[in-house]
Structure 1
């Protein structure tokens, strides 16, 4: 896959944006306690700053209803400790995390007892990309940016379009998205994000050694990865979510104009207004130009083929 043109980076400086899953509905059902998870993550974040004094670190909390910045190493208030017993990384991050959890809990909506609400991954990815774009505009020499998603909640099919937009924006900006998924099953969204952007997707087999996995797999900068043998994903789930019912499907109808995916046949595409006007001008037998395709195969084609070849395929 051809990547976007590389930018002018400072070779030995890294900008790591971490999205931290704080979904209380997930952590209450997960056997590994959130406090133990957080303690190992904090040790990993501290090691990133210790690897280089110019390294930058940003942490974004991902809740069920909102996202928020809870730590920024470039902030003036984080250059010194807020108390005499705890570093600024720990004290400020824990304080901001506690305030974020309280705000996010107030926004929690009632849900079905059997279902577990997914985290707002699309929002945290968008916030991470916005921060990185601001770093791009800071000057010609800026740190190498990358995103690390520490996720445990299941994928939310209703976020499919927003997450894919964020993934392709990261690919265009040459920002790799690393994924450390700690849930019971793999995340199709994060698998696609790491595959498309050239990042690393890894699911730790044991949570007790989480710090070891984080430090050996995700602490390496982009320059050093070319000389290391890092784990590779054996398979990527390219299944998409339909635009009508927001459900993950294997087969669906694809609009030949806007590539919207539906699980059922529709005479007119609800996404493309151009197609709706076009159907009014065409004979009756040519209306409804959606065609049934294998969704996973179509998504693979979108990722690997130029747009010209794709239009010839679906039209």
Structure 2
């Protein structure tokens, strides 16, 4: 029939909605939250973040979410929380029967609340409470927020989820050869809610995580409620994310819903917020200072605020060619100008004449 029918035939396939995995990193530095506690307490910020999470999950049944806390001494999972291993059942002495363990009861909540929303809310609040209770006074002595560790956890989770979904999509396609449905891969992105300044000691591991995210096409978005998030500006710029600095932290939900709710696919059809100026300053490898000008090793690209000892790179040991740096400039004596001699007794130009000016 195809040989008789000369009309063009088109194969029409259906495309499933692209699922989105949103990994939210919450800066839980106690000192930073105490500084803005009068404007935005941590409890109210968590409540607004949960509303934003519910909105992300409501867009599609295939959307996923994960929450990670960047604390002062560690990076901890908030959701999904680490599951504790079940204790082995102990046999009884009478009759040899084994004691059975009942399944975990669902979290109590209102009948009008979506079960998944209630499950995430219960897990996040319990994890935050455990994180705050486990923080000691010795932990508060450190002011460094473990942002690099939280970014690494988020990237590993996105990579694992993407790989598993791609494998399941390939298996489903191979089993149903007659299906015309095209399975789209999982698209992941990271949202950082920052309240503290960028720590110079975290520059190297943070930039390593940023370069890994850029290589994996994972966008990093940032909502800076307070502090100087210099390194996060570079992270958003290098990964194609959105950076928002909130002048009013109490309006955190407005910034999240109107500026950061759209994923990378939806942003192609929207006008996303853009930051005009980006602080590209880096931290030196020798003292950990944020510098404007420095010395860069041509082999490993290490940055130094001053020439290292013996002009050797502290990272790779390469002998650096500093040229004439540090030497005093050579002072060249100024040449004296020769005076012009008068020709044939006539005065030179610009000199007074020998005769007096006649009087009128």
The verdict on a shared fold, with TM-score over 0.5 as the criterion, is yes
Instruction: Give SS of 1:251's match.
Output: coil
**Farther-moved stretch of structure 1 (101-110 vs 244-253):** 101-110
> Which residue of the partner structure matches residue 148 of structure 1?
191
> Which residue of the partner structure matches residue 205 of structure 1?
247
Displacement of 1:255: 1.1
> What is the aligned residue count?
264
> Which residue of the partner structure matches residue 305 of structure 1?
none
- Relative to structure 1, the CA distance from residue 268 to residue 130 in structure 2 (aligned partners, 3 Å threshold; closer, same or farther) is same
- Answer with 1 or 2: which has the greater Rg: 2
Q: Deviations over 1:228-276 (max 9, x none)?
A: 1111001110000000110101111111111111111121111003x1x
> Which residue of the partner structure matches residue 14 of structure 1?
20
* Greater strand fraction, Structure 1 or Structure 2: 1
- TM-score of the pair, normalised by structure 1: 0.78
Does 2:118 correspond to 1:93? no
> Which residue of the partner structure matches residue 23 of structure 1?
29
**Unaligned runs of at least 5 residues, structure 1:** 1-8, 112-116, 280-287, 293-315
> Which residue of the partner structure matches residue 161 of structure 1?
204
> Which residue of the partner structure matches residue 312 of structure 2?
268
> 2:220·2:240 contact (CA, 8 Å) conserved in 1?
yes
> Which residue of the partner structure matches residue 190 of structure 1?
232
Q: How does 1:70-81 map to 2 (within 5 A)?
A: 70-72=78-80, 81=106
Displacement of 1:11: 4.3
Q: Deviations over 1:130-171 (max 9, x none)?
A: 111111221425421000001111001001000110000000
- Relative to structure 1, the CA distance from residue 107 to residue 166 in structure 2 (aligned partners, 3 Å threshold; closer, same or farther) is farther
> Which residue of the partner structure matches residue 289 of structure 1?
321
> 1:11·1:223 contact (CA, 8 Å) conserved in 2?
no
Q: How does 1:213-232 map to 2 (within 5 A)?
A: 213-232=255-274
Aligned mate of 1:83, from 105, 108, 113? 108
Instruction: Give SS of 2:20's match.
Output: strand
> Which residue of the partner structure matches residue 95 of structure 2?
none
Displacement of 1:51: 1.6
> 2:210·2:239 contact (CA, 8 Å) conserved in 1?
yes
> 2:194·2:223 contact (CA, 8 Å) conserved in 1?
yes
Q: Deviations over 1:10-60 (max 9, x none)?
A: 743110000011110111111421122121111111111122121100000
Counterpart CA distance in 2 for 1:244 and 1:269 is 10
* Greater helix fraction, Structure 1 or Structure 2: 1
Instruction: Give SS of 1:234's match.
Output: coil
> Which residue of the partner structure matches residue 67 of structure 1?
75
**Farther-moved stretch of structure 1 (173-182 vs 28-37):** 28-37
> Which residue of the partner structure matches residue 220 of structure 2?
177
Does 2:268 correspond to 1:243? no
RMSD, aligned CA: 2.6
